[in-house]
Structure 1
Amino acid sequence: NGVFEGILTFNRYKEIEGIPVDWSNDVVRYSLFGGMSRFTGHSLIQIEDKEDGLDRYYDSETKQRMMSFYHPEVLYSEMRNDLNTLNKFTDDTLIELGVSFNQNYTPEEVRELIPENITLKWYWVDTYSREDIKSLNTHITKYKPAFPELATEIYGFSEDPTDSSMSEKRFIDDVQTGLNEDGKYFGEFNRIYNNLKGDSAQLAPKNIEVIGAVVTGKPKELAELNDMDMIRGTVLGVTVKPY
């Protein structure tokens, strides 16, 4: 790109029930003198769904669906429930599903409530302040409804498949690392840290509450989420047929 600059391309993929699925590349610019910055943003395709009239978002490279989520304290005029579409898929289809909860839960509560044959992949952490929620609800009008949060706009952590108790700790470590690096995202890490910590002396696993999750499974397995009180909305993500 320049005498002292270069571009790195990271090939990304999602793992859905043991099968890798292509995802858009991440491209960053780096300097020989140190430092790295994102070269391109994550571009989306937005199309109105003819079934329910709500917009769906797609990854521009792979054309796979992108998940979106609904905060439990934000008033939405409409919310999607893609559990109603599971009967359109063949029994062997592997499905990624973004699940929004009706309230805050601890990660351990989520692990206990989600049926065992559904794979928990990722947790959406509630990093919002009271002012954030008030602002989101204040600006809602008949002509300007609240929109769901795209998966690229929220924060959370992956479930550790070998030791779930380490999942929250690794998330806290990542936030702490961001605070220790005086980069351009320091302000955002500081906001997240303070919102999560609240009145506690320091951020600990007990401060982590989740308001959504990403789960995977086959249609019959995911159908067990129907009629669960904790589920507020569901949005399809990647779908794949096994080899």
Structure 2
Amino acid sequence: MNDEEKLEELFEDKGPSNFDKVIKKAKLFSIIRGVITSILVFTVASFVGLIFNATTLNELGNTKKIELENYYRIAHPNSYIGSNQMDDGLLTGEFDYVTYRFLGNKAIVDGNNKESYSYVPLINGLYGDISGLLYEASGDEQSKRYNNVGKNLMQFYHPNVKYTKYRDDLAILNKIGEDKVMEISLSFDKPYIISQVKDMIPQNVTLNWYWVDTYTKSEVTELGSHIEKIANEEEIPVNKREKQISPSIILYENEVYGIKAIDEADKNKETPEKDFIDTISSGKTNKGTYQEVYKTLFSKLSTDKVKITKDNIKILGVVVTGDKDSLTLLKNKSFIKASSLGAVVDKY
């Protein structure tokens, strides 16, 4: 082959050059590297996101648990938080818990509840237990209400309000079997201090809870004079319109605040008012679901808005437990204006 032929062979087109192959390989490698990088970034981001989600929801769940445990120290007569579980999902979680109460020395299930929590404000609170009631009963303010496991909610009557009718469930004790234990709320004729209440309750009766006076004068007035306009008012001349006073408002156990006389293990507290005072005093400064409740209670109960003392606490009623024989000792006591049965179960 002469020199001219060699030169033609050199420049002859025989398909893709090595340079083109290198370019294609480089592009393919770049695509593969991009896919792998994206997968790695997604994996790492997902892992970090899951860790953040789990950690944040765990903190929110524990905060919710502590908030509820503190709130139960001043509310929900004779009711305590028992077994519980936090179920965390994506963005939201649920705190499921069972409540229980003591009837004498017997513990019974009080209800099943759930509270939702989330770090995304628009999602928080979209699901969960709303009222805690079995159903929304229609009727007047004196109708019976039941919680979500069918327990009758106890009623409370403020001593400074005049009611046309008082519930007297102590009168029906003779209809209850000897093999039963029960709880019953007692509404007093006037406010008392804790030491007086302890002396007033017979020794055979278990004192579980004190109802604390947390009402201002205007609130008491509102309880006693609930005004409603009569129907078809627009058809009646102005000078002949009347107003109808409905029955004075009765309070239910999920609407009152007070002091637990026994702890979560059914042991008597030596200074029951201490937990009540400490919970309110610390709660008013801690941001949370019930901060405004604590602020309001502190304002009502404290001396000169400085601190709450034992002397600030007045007792309007109690919740007691026992069997038929022991609770019968409360009949015809002059300091009891009303009585309302709650849970009733077998002794054994």
Q: TM-score normalised by the shorter chain: which range applies?
A: 0.7 to 0.9
1:145 to 247, 264, 267: 247
Could you say which structure has the larger radius of gyration?
2
2:129 to 36, 40, 44: 40
TM-aligned CA deviation for residue 209 of structure 1: 1.0
1:170 to 257, 275, 280: 275
Q: Does 1:242 align with 2:347?
A: yes
For the aligned residue pairs, the C-alpha RMSD in angstroms reads 2.4
Name the structure 1 match of 2:114: 27
Cα contact 2:226–2:245 (8 A) shared by 1: no
Cα contact 2:281–2:307 (8 A) shared by 1: no
Q: Determine which structure has greater relative contact order: mean sequence separation of CA pairs < 8 Å that are 6+ residues apart, divided by chain length.
A: 1
2:195 to 105, 108, 122: 108
| Counterpart amino acid of residue 25 in structure 1 | N
Measure the CA separation in 1 of the matches of 2:226 and 2:120: 44
What SS class does the counterpart of residue 78 from structure 1 fall into?
Answer: coil
Distance 1:241 1:232, change over 3 A: same
Name the structure 1 match of 2:146: 58
Deviations 1:162-210 (CA, angstroms, capped at 9, x unpaired)? 5544210110011012112123432221111111124474211111111
Measure the CA separation in 1 of the matches of 2:326 and 2:268: 23
Cα contact 1:75–1:137 (8 A) shared by 2: yes
Cα contact 2:224–2:249 (8 A) shared by 1: no
Deviations 1:21-76 (CA, angstroms, capped at 9, x unpaired)? 12211211123689x8693121244488xxxxx6222223x222111110101122
Q: Which runs of 5+ in 1 are unaligned?
A: 49-53
Measure the CA separation in 2 of the matches of 1:86 and 1:218: 9
Greater shift, 100-109 or 192-201, is seen at: 192-201
Cα contact 1:125–1:209 (8 A) shared by 2: yes
What SS class does the counterpart of residue 146 from structure 2 fall into?
Answer: strand
Aligned residues: 236
| Correspondence list, 1:1-243, <5 A | 3-31=90-118, 39-41=128-130, 42-45=132-135, 46=137, 55-60=143-148, 62-139=149-226, 142-160=244-262, 162=267, 164-199=269-304, 201-243=306-348
Q: Which runs of 5+ in 2 are unaligned?
A: 1-87, 229-243
What SS class does the counterpart of residue 158 from structure 2 fall into?
Answer: coil
| Counterpart amino acid of residue 257 in structure 2 | Y
Distance 1:72 1:215, change over 3 A: same
Distance 1:123 1:140, change over 3 A: farther
Q: TM-score, normalised by structure 2?
A: 0.63
| Counterpart amino acid of residue 334 in structure 2 | D
| Counterpart amino acid of residue 40 in structure 1 | D
| Counterpart amino acid of residue 148 in structure 1 | I
Distance 1:162 1:94, change over 3 A: closer
Cα contact 2:146–2:153 (8 A) shared by 1: yes
What SS class does the counterpart of residue 55 from structure 1 fall into?
Answer: coil
- Percent identical residues: 30
